[in-house]
Amino acid sequence: MSFLQKHLINICASFAACLAMSPAYADPTFPNRPINLVVAFGPGTGSDTIARILSEKMREILGSPVTVENRLGGGGVIGTEYVARAKPDGYTLTMGTTSSLGTTPVLNPNAKYDVKKDFAFISGLAKSDYVIITSTRPGSPQTLGELLARLKKEPSSFASAGVGTITHLATEMLLHKASLSATHIPYKGSGQVIIDVAAGQVLFATDSPSAALPLIQSGKLRALAVTGPTRLSALPDVPTVAESGFPGFQVLAWWCLAAPAGTPEAVIKKLSDAAQKAVASPDITERLRKMEIEPMLMNAAELTAFIDKDIPAWTNFIRSSGIKIAP
């Protein structure tokens, strides 16, 4: 063998080795071992529930286990950052949310990940509106207009599931749009919020339909408006905030799949196709809708475009409002 032939063989071998080590290299047998889907919040949360519903169907589609790991702490920071630093091979994913990818990086100084630089977006999964609620006790507001009129006349309070949560920020955004103010009373989760609003101890709150509906349907809570672009099927007589005098107002909770930046495009596409097929299946769609959660079918490009629009809107609002989470 000539020197030139040996040299060419060495070059080809080196090139092949570089490809194998490159993050852009996609294993054609993917997935050939379990995929770890990290939820940055605790068991029983919306993110956890959706992840477990999704993992069952994706396992059937991909032919490989999809395990759910709750890696909580720091309001979603710990689990999300763990995925951002993971090997970009498609085997470690995050259940991204409005808070973990949209608001927390702006609010929380402990969030060291950069959403645009550290993640590759895979697929949209689901979305949900919020509902503005008050008590049905005598003297409680009957409409959103009555609520805002009361806030204009007298000091009042609102509750949320915690500082910086979407339930907090949705109310702050409404108050900002209406040029009003109210005292924020943060709770640790929605459970006690719903109870105290129903008892009239706090004037109003914004919360998820799944949390509020049981007490709305039992007559203990009154729904004043929903924050999405259309009315809820479970509350057809309740107007949207946009219908109630604030055109264009919209606050949604959303969930998506994301992977570490540098994950091969072929892997992203395979995961995206599987996730969308899973969410679109009739049994999964039905399970989500029973929780007043709608499918949000988006491929990687569509999800990226959505993120590019939604996150700056939250960033601008949070920075202009001055809301912060203490380190």
Backbone angles phi and psi of 221, in degrees to 5: -125, 150
Token code pair at residue 284: 């999964």
Is-above-0.75 flag for pTM? yes
The answer as to whether 326 is a domain residue is no
Please check whether residues 122 and 13 belong to one and the same domain: yes
The count of other CB atoms within 10 Å of the CB of residue 195 is 16
The answer as to whether 3 is a domain residue is no
In the chain, the number of structural domains is: 2
Taking a C-beta distance cutoff of 8 angstroms, is the pair 198, 215 a contact? yes
Angle between helix 166-178 and 300-321 (nearest 10): 60
Taking a C-beta distance cutoff of 8 angstroms, is the pair 50, 255 a contact? yes
Among the three residues 244, 275, 303, which one is the final residue of a domain in this structure?
244
Please check whether residues 118 and 33 belong to one and the same domain: yes
The predicted-structure confidence for 255-298, as pLDDT tens digits, reads as follows 999 999 999 999 999 999 999 999 999 999 999 988 889 999 99
Taking a C-beta distance cutoff of 8 angstroms, is the pair 287, 299 a contact? no
The predicted-structure confidence for 12-37, as pLDDT tens digits, reads as follows 444 444 444 444 456 788 999 999 99
Q: Apex CA 26: angle with CA 25 and CA 30, to 5°? A: 155
